[in-house]
Structure 1
Amino acid sequence: MIPILLDVPLQLETERLILRAPYQTGDGHIVNEAIRDSIHELRAWLPFAQELPSVEETEINLRNAHINFLKRDSFRYLIFHKDSNDFIGTTSLQSIEWKIPKCEIGYWINTRFSGNGYMTEAVKELTNLGLNYIKFKRIEIRCESTNFKSRSIPENLGFVLEGTLRNDDLSADGSKLTDTCFYSKIK
């Protein structure tokens, strides 16, 4: 397989959601607004949320994500509600190793939409894309052991907890060592 020649859909659809690649001008504004709305929750888990980014910084991040999508280095999707068109969060196939082939799924949600199963629905669709369309042999989800909301997603989707690596990473703010749970689904 030659990754650059792989046709990866720019949009995915589930029962309630539309997942689309971040390539539309102005996406930075809506994503930045969601970061702003969710900064207190995101700050606990994500290094990028330690400082509130500007709209311009978010726009640059999304344009770089689009470049990475085109290069087949990662596949980030913005998640929107089908009916309301509200921006819900992001999910991506990242840390891709084409020789194996395998990847990792990452995600974050706008706090006002958490608790409705949207992220589980989006990650399920992305897992399907990865295993059945792109033909990855392994998909991993890694998260801090104390992030129970994040852990519930792979657990609800039948990923296997392969183990917990103790003192594996730094907390999002860099202040302490944390344990990382490794989940996987294989083909």
Structure 2
Amino acid sequence: MNPLLLDVPLQLETERLILRAPLQTGDGNIVNQAIRDSFHELKAWLPFAQELPTVEETEVNLRNAHINFLKRESFRFLIFDKDSNDFIGTTSLQGINWDIPKCEIGYWINTKFSGNGYMTEAVKELANFGLNNIKFRRIEIRCESTNLKSRAIPEKLGFVLEGTLRNDDLSADGSKLTDTCFYSIIK
């Protein structure tokens, strides 16, 4: 089946969260503020967070993410608290290979919401959706070996640590070689 014909909802829900595609004007403002609020933590792990983006740059990034969603190249969701409507973070099905079919899950959280299980809940929903609705046969989570908070998520969700690739990548700031942990779950 051609991936463009897949019926992928623009919103998913969990007990506490709403995950929706970045398609509303003004999403750039709220995401940019979360990047600013969490800049110190994000900078340690994510190449995109080495410099603070402008609101305009964030808005363009989100609009491109929506285009990629429609083209079925990746599926980025913004995460919101159901009760307060606070923006919590993002999670994505990305690096899609439709021939297998497989993908990777990426995520980041606004620091002020970490430690509440929100990202674990969101990633669990996205992994279940990917395996059961999109019918991915393999979903990976990759993270730097020293990023213990990020590693805790696949470990809590039953992903298998397949291995650690030594000197596999550069640190977010490009200053040193890092090891990458590979986790996966299969159908």
Band the TM-score falls in, shorter-chain normalisation: over 0.9
Hey, what does 2:186 align to over in structure 1? 186
- Provide the rounded CA distance (Å) in 2 between the counterparts of 1:51 and 1:7: 36
The count of residues paired between Structure 1 and Structure 2 equals 187
Structure-to-structure mapping, 1:62-141, within 5 angstroms: 62-141=62-141
Aligned partner of residue 163 in structure 2, secondary structure: strand
Query: Which structure 1 segments of 5+ residues have no match?
Result: none
Shift of 1:86: 0.1
TM-score, normalised to structure 2's length?
Answer: 1.00
In the alignment, which residue of structure 2 is the partner of 1:7? 7
Alignment of 1:6-85 (within 5 A): 6-85=6-85
Structure 1 residue 64, shift from structure 2 partner: 0.1
Identity %: 87
**Cα displacement (A) at 1:92:** 0.2
Runs of 4 or more, structure 1, over 6 Å off, are none
What amino acid is aligned across from residue 34 of structure 1 in structure 2?
Answer: A
CA distance in 2: counterparts of 1:106 and 1:155, whole angstroms: 15
Question: Can you list the C-alpha shifts for 1:29-62, whole angstroms capped at 9, x where unaligned?
Answer: 0000000000000000000000000000000000
Work out the CA distance in 1 between the residues paired with 2:77 and 2:7.
Answer: 15
In structure 2, what is the Cα distance between the partners aligned to 1:75 and 1:94? 6
TM-score normalized with structure 1 length: 1.00
What are the within-5 Å matches in structure 2 for residues 125-164 of structure 1? Answer: 125-164=125-164
* Residue 98 (structure 1) shift: 0.1
Shift of 1:134: 0.1
Cα RMSD (Å) of the superposition?
A: 0.2
Distance (Å, rounded) in 2 between the aligned partners of 1:4 and 1:14: 25
3-state SS, counterpart of residue 44 of structure 1: helix
CA distance in 2, matches of 1:109, 1:150: 10
How far apart, in 2, do the equivalents of 1:21 and 1:5 lie?
17
Deviations 1:135-158 (A, max 9, x none): 000000000000000000000000
SS of 2:45's equivalent? Answer: coil
